[in-house]
Amino acid sequence: MNRWAFWLRRLVAGAVALVALSLLIFGATELLPGDAVSAVAGPTATEEERAAVRERLGLDRDAATRYLEWAGGALRGDLGTGYLGARPVTEVVGARLPHSLLLAALALAVTVPVAVVAGLAAGMRAGGPVDHAVSAGTLLVAGLPEFVLATLLLWALAAGPGLLPQVSMVPLGGSPLDAPEILVLPVATLAVSGIAVATRLIRARTADIAATPYIEAARLRGVTGPRLALRHVLPNALGPAVQALGMVTGALVGGAVVVETVFGYPGIGRELQEAVAYRDVPLVQGIALVLCAIALAVLLLTDLLARALDPRSGGAR
């Protein structure tokens, strides 16, 4: 298949997936328990006041009309206005998303080298002592819920010894980089769980490649150790490894909800959690849609990258 045809097909598939996801998001918020009208109008509102609020929010129209209006606005870059504080959703996303992306990027920067090295080391000698240690360790961590992991790290590094702040407060009007110490715990929590998942995926692929005739041939030519792993195994494991890391990246951006809430970090995940708590439907919808779009974009990019890295696909020439 021609490279451009491949790109085009993936783009179209991504767009279709995004439309389907937007329907799911809209449907899910329709089903969300609780009533935005009660939340906005207050518990003591009279029936007339409630009707006025309903009309003002446009909730008196049917769901299909509201979906089309919302989706059309999203296409023009307008995600509507939040119920609370009447903030435009795009403004909220614009303010919070960079913080979360910074968190995800730092976590990824830690995850990639560690996962590649650990995965290669374990997979090169499948069934050996290194493999047993790495596999058992990653299994343990991968099975641990993120909030438990975050609590453990908090206890070990912040609460007891007081090395790091327990709450990741961003200085007013500043960026998280002004106080780098607040990033350590959230990044560590995200990275540890990312490393566990990515290492397992890379290890499995490495073990498969290490058993091939061409790797045996290289061993019989006297190629050993890091050279065998990096020059002979890694080129073949790179494509699958990139895809594995792509899945992890999607999870890092979305998985920030728990971590940001635990550490009180002002990212988009925490904003989403608060929006759900306050029944701020437009904000929930907008943030969820942006997160879905980011995850899809990352997957699309890693697919293209994996293809370019695999010499057999005809991508890299």
* Residues at the interface with another protein (CB under 8 A): 213-224, 231-232, 235-236, 238, 310-312
Least Å distance, CB 312 to another protein, is 5
Least Å distance, CB 224 to another protein, is 7
Report the C-alpha gap between 11 and 17 in whole angstroms: 10
Of 105 and 217, the one with the shorter C-beta distance to another protein is 217
* CA angle, 116 then 140 then 295, to 5°: 55
Of 27 and 314, the one with the shorter C-beta distance to another protein is 314
Coil, strand, or helix at residue 88?
strand
256-263 vs 234-254: helix crossing angle, rounded to 10: 50
Name the one residue in this structure whose structure tokens are 């998985």.
255
Least Å distance, CB 122 to another protein, is 17
DSSP type of residue 278: T
Least Å distance, CB 114 to another protein, is 23
198 beta partners: none
Report the C-alpha gap between 127 and 131 in whole angstroms: 6
Least Å distance, CB 300 to another protein, is 23
Least Å distance, CB 55 to another protein, is 56
Of 59 and 223, the one with the shorter C-beta distance to another protein is 223
Report the C-alpha gap between 261 and 267 in whole angstroms: 9
Asked if 147 and 258 touch (Cβ cutoff 8 Å), the reply is yes
Of 203 and 205, the one with the shorter C-beta distance to another protein is 205
Of 240 and 267, the one with the shorter C-beta distance to another protein is 240
Least Å distance, CB 301 to another protein, is 21
Report the C-alpha gap between 317 and 303 in whole angstroms: 17
Of 215 and 272, the one with the shorter C-beta distance to another protein is 215
Asked if 249 and 190 touch (Cβ cutoff 8 Å), the reply is no
DSSP type of residue 81: B
Least Å distance, CB 247 to another protein, is 22
